[in-house]
Amino acid sequence: MAAKLPRIAVLGSLNMDLVSYVPHHPLPGETLTATSFAVSPGGKGANQAVACAKLSRSRADASSSSSSAHASTATASVAMIGSVGTDTYGTTLRENLAAHGVDAERVSALEGRKTGVAIIIVDEPSGQNRIVLSPEANHALQPEDVSPAPALIRTLGGAAADLLIMQLEIPLQTVLAALRSAREAGVPVLLNPAPAVTLPADALRGLAHLVVNETEAAILGECEESVLDSEEGMEKVASGFIEKGVANVIITLGGRGVYYMNKAGEKGLLPAQKAKVVDTTAAGDTFVGQYALEAVSSKFDIVAAVNKSNRAAAKTVERQGAQVSIPWRDELL
């Protein structure tokens, strides 16, 4: 009998990305002519689900017409939970998830709602982006959909996942309810609190993995971002999260690398992977996807997980787009 695949569930946002590539970010009152424009599937939740799926499969396997072959070569089973509208964007997002091997059965198409949209402006010289998010149907996910614990398990398809991934592009109260339900059900959680807001004191209690960037770490750690300029400051902030009940803390620092710490006392700053930056969209989501796959493996090692996630994210920034830029498993070999 084949071994049961680890099961990853992603509860979060689905958006259609409207992306303009410009020679520089516009100044107040300035009108720019874009050098190019793209419409593509996105949303932090959907990006992370697709990242898990693509990074757990080879490109050749995914393009196979045999669904059994597709499933047999995967290293994880991935399901997306969220809401879209009954419009063309919503249909495209659900079909795109399925095409990448993500179970989209629990992505609801809601009558009278519009699908979420993200307007993204990418500065071509630096690859840095600015994003305006319109949540729309994403905010239809309510606490009662995931609470109490039995409701969350139903949402996960009737069985507890090996890992639940969440971000903050759906209502905060829904995320907090899911955190409580996962705790009750014994489902490990990876929280990527983006866009960052201050969380209640007990939100981090029992959290298996916290993945934050510098801005998010400063907001959650209630400190100035400049504190993270030194390794001593990183250690102090990460220690605070460990004291609040997080088992593994990851702070991504862009070109400076990644700082990690776990409750066993392992800690350190790992260098960033070298890359020619074209577009940073979905780089963080790619990191989360690869890290999640490492987290559900039978031999999780935090240093190896960070290094592999760094490599995956470096591939992503070398390409334009969100989900299309995420590498397949064989591209990291």
Catalytic residue set? 285
How far apart CA 204 and CA 224 sit, in angstroms, is 20
* Consecutive H or E run containing 155: helix 149-155
Query: Measured in whole angstroms, how far is the alpha carbon of residue 261 from the centre of its chain?
Result: 20
Q: Tokens representing 325?
A: 């830029």
DSSP string, 222-248: TS-GGGGGSHHHHHHHHHHHHHTT-SE
Query: Measured in whole angstroms, how far is the alpha carbon of residue 228 from the centre of its chain?
Result: 22
Smallest Cα–Cα separation from 52: which of 246, 192, 235? 192
SS3 280: coil
How far apart CA 75 and CA 19 sit, in angstroms, is 32
* Consecutive H or E run containing 260: strand 258-262
